A = this chain, B = another copy of it.
């Protein structure tokens, strides 16, 4: 009996300031009235692949493509209270990632030309959530971006503002005026295990680069597949990043990487392509089997890169696996998936390369 009571007590005590403050009744607007970033197609949903791919990609990739990782809403408002009402597709939970990262929302405002965290919207227990994010702000007009769940899909989403406030399409072109980076990868690229959507490294990079990223991170399923390559061919990217080593066995990496790059080079003759090596898993420092497979995967990708160069492929770049998570071994929750610490370090590490490769785009 004490157990159940304590559970609720702890939750209330931790959260009372942020979650249960009195907020005015909000007027809700369907989020699809505002520009969506990180989604390359025009369907009125929050899926990463358009409907036709249900027939062509593996079922796991299709299901994961309905997770809204990397998708965000741009708007402006003078509201003093901003809230959200949303319904997720799966009500996913995992024991090494917060529900807020999995199926919550994350609001940033433009302050002095940079995106500043306002607050997250912690999901309820269940499919439906309703939360005030900003509660008693001032009525300054501000530009906002709202990041969507990383490991669940969004069935519906409305943004609420206090009665009398205005909400409309953005005036500032930021995040709307540059060609996206397309990032094809694993669970790490999908955002596991950021504590809130804005801390996925791809979303950190969106803010730092002021450029959208189409997130093709498919948890456990980033496998250099040409069926995904077809979707990449449909995008209009400033840069294509391929970071599929974590989910691909060493035996498959060379053949698949060569085939995918060849496919992408054919459909996008000029677009720069960056191959990214897997980083060392933290428990690899204690487990030789883990360490060995990490090195074998790297060697296979490097060989694919060299063979592609020899075959005359242009505008192909390579980033080695060292240095992504810092030197203190504290960047992951489970040895593999970055926490916010690992996500910040990953973003800082890859930023100069992405900046250089997109500077003329």
Q: Give chain A's interface residues, CB within 8 Å of chain B.
A: 2-3, 6-7, 9-18, 60, 63-64, 89-100, 104, 109, 116-120, 122-125, 134-138, 151, 187, 192-193, 195-196, 198-199, 204, 219-221, 281-283, 285-290, 329-330, 332-337, 339-341, 344
Contact = CB atoms under 8 A, between A and B. Distances in A.
Given A13-B219, A329-B117, A283 B18 contact: yes
A64 B10 contact: yes
Nearest to A2: B63
Nearest to A118: B286
B3 A98 contact: no
A212 to B, nearest CB: 19
A320 to B, nearest CB: 21
Contact of A3 (B16, B91, B137, B281): B91
A23 to B, nearest CB: 11
Contacts of A220: 10, 12-14, 16
Given A9-B63, A340-B339, A287 B98 contact: no
B13 A60 contact: yes
A199 to B, nearest CB: 7
Given A13-B60, A17-B336, A195-B193, A283 B96 contact: no
A28 B14 CA distance: 35
A282 B90 CA distance: 30
A67 to B, nearest CB: 8
A18 B336 contact: yes
A93 B4 CA distance: 11
Given A120-B333, A344-B330, A94 B286 contact: no
A198 B329 CA distance: 12
A-B complex: 3 closest residue pairs judged by Cβ atoms: A13-B220, A95-B99, A339-B340
A212 B323 CA distance: 31
Contact of A95 (B98, B286, B287, B288): B98
Nearest to A95: B99
Most buried by B among A90, A124, A135, A198: A90
A333 B91 contact: no
A334 B122 contact: yes
